[in-house]
Structure 1
Amino acid sequence: MIVMMFWFDHDVSGWGWFAMSVGMIAFWALIVTAAVLIAVLAGIAVQLLVLVHAERPPWPRPCGRRPQP
């Protein structure tokens, strides 16, 4: 004998809508937060790479030495 379970209630209750709405808002907030975090960290990484590979400025010069023309 095969026993089957049926869900006779075809509508979502008010609490179901509320839970689904909160879940979707939390999901999209997580996606947006992750995207912003990745963008910020990528920007910081680019700035660090620029600083590492930039030429050193001529200052501060040691005292008593003139800059070469």
Structure 2
Amino acid sequence: MMFWYDHDVSGWGWFAMTASIILFWALIITAAVFLFRALDRPHEHTHAPVAPTP
């Protein structure tokens, strides 16, 4: 019964947990947005063949 009276998360623990969850979801949403933009982008081939100069 080593931690009988002091087994709760402290204020800094709650802060770290909340910050890590927010950071986790921000990274997930950012990755989803980048993936959606990459898949939604039309494939444009703008490289026109260059005629050789004489």
TM-score by length of 1: 0.55
Q: Is there any run of 5+ residues in structure 2 with no aligned partner, and where?
A: 46-54
RMSD over aligned Cα, in angstroms?
Answer: 1.6
Identity rate of aligned residues, in percent?
51
Q: Is there any run of 5+ residues in structure 1 with no aligned partner, and where?
A: 1-5, 53-69
Structure 1 or 2, whichever has the larger Rg, is 1
- 2:51 corresponds in structure 1 to none
User: How many matched pairs?
Assistant: 43
- 1:20 corresponds in structure 2 to 17
Query: 1:1-69 to 2 correspondence within 5 Å?
Result: 6-8=2-4, 9-44=6-41, 47-48=42-43, 51=44
State the distance in 1 between where 2:32 and 2:3 align. Answer: 39
Runs of 4+ in 1 over 2 A off after TM superposition: 6-9
TM-score by length of 2: 0.69
